[in-house]
A and B are shown apart, each in its own frame.
Chain A
Amino acid sequence: MKILMFGWEFPPHITGGLGTACYGLTRSLATEGAEIVFVVPKAFGDEDQSAVRLMGASDIEIDAADPDTQEFWKRVTYLQIGSNLIPYVTPEAFRRLVEERQRQQQQPIDDLVLKAKFDFNGGYGSDLLAEVSRYALIAAGLAGKQQFDVIHAHDWPTYPAGIAAAAISHKPLVVHVHATEFDRSGENINHEVYDIERRGMEAADRVIAVSNFTRNTIIEKYGIAPDKVVTVHNGIAAATDYTGSTTRYLKEKVVTFLGRLTQQKGPEYFVEAAHMLLQYDKNVRFVMAGSGDMLPRLVRQVARLGIGTRFHFTGFLDEQEVQQLFAISDVFVMPSVSEPFGLVPLEAIRANVPVVISRQSGVSEVLDHVLKVDFWDVNALADAIHGLLTYKSLASEFRKHGKNEVSQLTWDHAAHQVIKIYEDVVAISQLT
């Protein structure tokens, strides 16, 4: 089976979980016999290409005078560039971006995209939509030349490419939803992005959702037919054991939050639960690791509640520091309001830290040996943390079963289901 795959990032050049997921999935797909051409905006040359053949869109020139190119371009011009676009990443980055954009004089889009040579930045910079368009154009060109059976596109920046490639090649299209606009922006969604997502899902022969939680969003908020949307839970790659410092300098128990400090991660519920607990038990410290636009508000909240001596902000932590934090943590909490999957709790469990997660997370669907609460139910959240800190056998039951449970969540398992989906869509496309 030959797959033409579109992804916006690939390790080691990643900004979030998307690239990691693409890498894990393609490696296992390759062991199942899939041959994958993976198209990224920009190839850096240091990517691991053992499982895929990586192509950078930057390296592909086009001839604007070629009638084919003109034809392809017609198919992708529905993208309205220059309007308010929320990029893929964080809301605070978005704010910067909008300001930057306002300072710049915009080049006419056709000229920009139809240059012979286009240097992609990759990532999610201010030219994101131009890049998305150019990327789609190149995809259309590629689709005419490459031999493949299925097109597989990961998240919205690659959906236009997937649609264009499918239109040219008449091959089945699978779009893979790792996150939706609702996960990134709550209810204040960007409508351009939403439209791109919805068109991608509508055009696809199958939509893969990373959890039932995301699947429900796709069905309810994008109006996609349920029988077209399939859940394939993410895997987690094996990790090397942490060997750094595990010294605990604090005598109090430590409860940890780790993630971007944005509304969707629910950090304020963590603060409220901390406040409740500290009224009963002073021998606990709370650590909030990560950065984000909500930080000032959270600091004020902590100050207002008068728990500042027991509640600590660390800012952004690198991989090593994260492991160090896990090593001194007694409980990890992920109170996300909307979390398509959620890898961090799995890392915590692997570091032997018992976890409390919200039911509004995809990962809660695949874990039994965790405590699950609704993100808004601060009483339940506080009670869960209290239980883990107080009743010893609970944490030890979790430690006994947790690692084993996480080790079952493999990319091989996910890839196996994806192959089935490929076979399905190929079989159906051959009938028609």
Chain B
Amino acid sequence: MRSICFYFQVHQPFRLRTYRFFEMGHEHHYYNDFENKHILNRVAQKCYLPMNELLLNLIGRYGDKFRVAFSISGSAIEQLRDYAPQVIESFAQLARTGNVEFLAETYAHSLASLKSKPEFERQVNLHRKTIEELFGQKPTTFRNTELIYSDEIGEMVYNLGFDTMLTEGAKHVLGWKSPNHLYSNARKPELKVLLKNFKLSDDIAFRFSHQGWKEWPLTPEKFTSWLAKTDKTDEVVNLFMDYETFGEHQWRETGIFDFMKALPAKILKNTDFTFRTPAEVSKILQPVAAIHVPYPISWADEERDLTAWLGNEMQDEAFGKLLGLEKKITNCTQPDILRDWYRLQNSDHFYYMCTKWFSDGDVHKYFNPYTTPYEAFINYMNVLSDFTIRVDEHCVENNKGEAKGEPTIQHGQHEAADSVDADKQADDGDRSHDFSFEHLKNISNAKLKKLLKDIDAENLAYALRDAGEDIRDRVLPNLTKSARQEYDQLTEKMKKIKDEDIARGRDKIAKAFNRLFNS
């Protein structure tokens, strides 16, 4: 018997409320609770509850011959717990039948796999634990956010203890190969890879109710005949789709529920296919080849790339700044900060900032609470700015595994390689060569003012003479009026100045800097 493998994705993001810059520093609630609750209840009523019931009935009728898989993001679980706990219970009921596999993913439906291995691992473990607690299964199959996959990500996933992973059967990766076999990761052959048959999946998920489609209306008979016509050597057809396809994207009136209700009988009766979960397929089939994916792919858009979430400057700045906080978050135990840390990682926030949709995509507009990507970006960055203030206040940076002392440096970038290790410098007050003007950019105005009090205008003038304009722009507005006057007069006079004077000036700043963060 060949396998047909249904996997449904359940995810709801934490949509942000309109958050203005003047709320930064004092308003810390970021979410549009009303909208989130409203949408969740609507989807629960239109999709999750009726479709769960339908699946439960199918399992009741066909027993072991009917199996499906789910992945439910942590963000969806949190909202279901808050707004529609009966949905969690109905998923648990499905779990108890033993015919439903629950997959693991990143807890926050995050893009962490592309940027930070530790964060990725942390989220996968958190999600795995959550699923185990809720449904009594320890997931062995992994699906990444938006089916994002590369050889490297596959390797990380294998190292986290998974033996199966799902991704898109992207044409540019497969070439002439068929998605209807089991493949293996190019670096870790032990990791089996299941590829989405996007033609047959999208016939249901996207085209089902599209009256301009030449195959409309799609009937169970027709779909079954397509399955029967697949090449006889094909071993598995992977139908991966958003769960919201049923009742939300395709309304009940389109007949999507009737279609799903009638489909198993037709397939089981008229073809040699039976329903299996990803874990089962992975167990019974032998991989036909390794699949090589050096650059990440996803299940989105024609391009099957990442450009819906990352790639324009706004998305990169927003995501980069968020993950730049990671070092401080690592040791953080404050629940409200951790909660927001995850929620702000929802891939949806970056999706709203995509500028591709000006030319294409009503699909995208449908999911987007903002009128333009620019509004989405500004709103997100306002929230992120406030979140950063909180992280700076409450979290201690994790440096080389140990953290002590007051956190002082704000990292603009996640790769904070050039950051000052305050502790280290405290041990060696004279190691002023460790100091760089770049550090001044990262400390708060208050700190900078304090620092500048220690430096006389002459030394400052020397030190800043060859510093970059950005440094001067940072420093000068923080001088007192009189210091500024003195400084201006001195720089006027300093037409010719000695190198050792510059060095002396720099040295003074470095020492004051170290003293400041030492005390």
Contacts of B317 in A (CB 8 A): 391-393
**Which of chain A's residues has its CB closest to B473's CB?**
A251
Is A397 touching B378 in the complex (CB atoms < 8 A)? no
Is B22 touching A368 in the complex (CB atoms < 8 A)? no
Would you give the shortest CB distance from B377 to chain A, in whole angstroms? 6
Contacts of B374 in A (CB 8 A): 369-371, 387, 394, 397-398
Contacts of A386 in B (CB 8 A): 21, 378
Most buried by B among A279, A370, A386: A386
Would you give the shortest CB distance from A113 to chain B, in whole angstroms? 52
Is A397 touching B473 in the complex (CB atoms < 8 A)? no
**Which of chain A's residues has its CB closest to B21's CB?**
A386
Q: Tell me if A's interface is mostly helix, strand, loop or mixed.
A: helix
Knowing A391-B317, A391-B381 touch, does A283 contact B372 (C-beta < 8 A)?
Answer: no
Complex interface bits, A387-408 against B, C-beta within 8 A gives 1, otherwise 0:
1001111101110110000000
Contacts of B378 in A (CB 8 A): 371, 383-384, 386-387, 391, 394
Given B312, B313, B372, B477, which contacts A368 in the complex, CB threshold below 8 Å? B372
Contacts of B375 in A (CB 8 A): 371
Is B314 touching A397 in the complex (CB atoms < 8 A)? yes
Given A370, A372, A394, which contacts B377 in the complex, CB threshold below 8 Å? A394
Would you give the shortest CB distance from A157 to chain B, in whole angstroms? 38
Contacts of B314 in A (CB 8 A): 391, 393-394, 397
Is A387 touching B381 in the complex (CB atoms < 8 A)? yes
Is B22 touching A279 in the complex (CB atoms < 8 A)? yes
Does A249 sit at the interface, judged by CB under 8 A? no
CA distance A383 to B381 in the complex (A): 11
Is A397 touching B21 in the complex (CB atoms < 8 A)? no
Would you give the shortest CB distance from A202 to chain B, in whole angstroms? 36
**Which of chain A's residues has its CB closest to B377's CB?**
A394
* Residues of chain A from 158 to 201 with CB closer than 8 A to chain B in the complex: none
* Residues of chain B from 324 to 383 with CB closer than 8 A to chain A in the complex: 355, 358, 371-372, 374-375, 377-378, 381-382
Is B381 touching A397 in the complex (CB atoms < 8 A)? no
Contacts of B355 in A (CB 8 A): 397, 401
Given A372, A382, A383, which contacts B372 in the complex, CB threshold below 8 Å? A372
Task: Tell me the count of chain A residues lying within 8 A, CB to CB, of chain B.
Answer: 27
CA distance A251 to B469 in the complex (A): 10
Contacts of A387 in B (CB 8 A): 21, 374, 377-378, 381-382
Does A379 sit at the interface, judged by CB under 8 A? yes
Does B393 sit at the interface, judged by CB under 8 A? no
CA distance A263 to B355 in the complex (A): 34
Knowing A368-B358, A393-B317, A397-B312 touch, does A283 contact B21 (C-beta < 8 A)?
Answer: no
**Which of chain B's residues has its CB closest to A279's CB?**
B22
Given B22, B313, B381, B385, which contacts A276 in the complex, CB threshold below 8 Å? B22
Does A280 sit at the interface, judged by CB under 8 A? yes
Would you give the shortest CB distance from B318 to chain A, in whole angstroms? 8
CA distance A384 to B378 in the complex (A): 7
Would you give the shortest CB distance from B70 to chain A, in whole angstroms? 36
Given A251, A372, A390, A394, which contacts B371 in the complex, CB threshold below 8 Å? A372
Contacts of B22 in A (CB 8 A): 276, 279-280, 379, 382
Would you give the shortest CB distance from A245 to chain B, in whole angstroms? 19
Contacts of A279 in B (CB 8 A): 22
Does B430 sit at the interface, judged by CB under 8 A? no
Is B20 touching A383 in the complex (CB atoms < 8 A)? yes
* Residues of chain B from 293 to 323 with CB closer than 8 A to chain A in the complex: 312-314, 316-318
Would you give the shortest CB distance from A379 to chain B, in whole angstroms? 5
Would you give the shortest CB distance from A297 to chain B, in whole angstroms? 25
Contacts of B476 in A (CB 8 A): 251
Contacts of A392 in B (CB 8 A): 317
**Which of chain B's residues has its CB closest to A400's CB?**
B313
Would you give the shortest CB distance from A363 to chain B, in whole angstroms? 15
CA distance A391 to B375 in the complex (A): 12
Would you give the shortest CB distance from B117 to chain A, in whole angstroms? 25
Given A280, A283, A369, A397, which contacts B477 in the complex, CB threshold below 8 Å? A283
Is B313 touching A390 in the complex (CB atoms < 8 A)? no
Given B20, B372, B381, B385, which contacts A379 in the complex, CB threshold below 8 Å? B20
CA distance A384 to B22 in the complex (A): 12
Shortest 7 CB-CB contacts between residues of A and residues of B? A387-B378, A393-B313, A393-B317, A386-B21, A393-B314, A391-B381, A383-B20
A-B contact pairs, 26 of them (CB 8 A): A251-B473, A276-B22, A280-B21, A283-B477, A369-B374, A371-B372, A371-B375, A371-B378, A372-B372, A380-B20, A383-B21, A383-B378, A383-B382, A386-B21, A387-B374, A387-B378, A391-B377, A392-B317, A393-B312, A393-B313, A393-B314, A394-B374, A394-B378, A396-B313, A397-B313, A398-B374
18 additional contacts, CB 8 Å, given A387-B377, A394-B374, A397-B355?
A251-B476, A251-B477, A368-B372, A369-B374, A372-B372, A379-B20, A383-B378, A387-B378, A390-B381, A391-B377, A391-B378, A392-B317, A393-B314, A394-B377, A396-B313, A397-B312, A397-B314, A401-B355
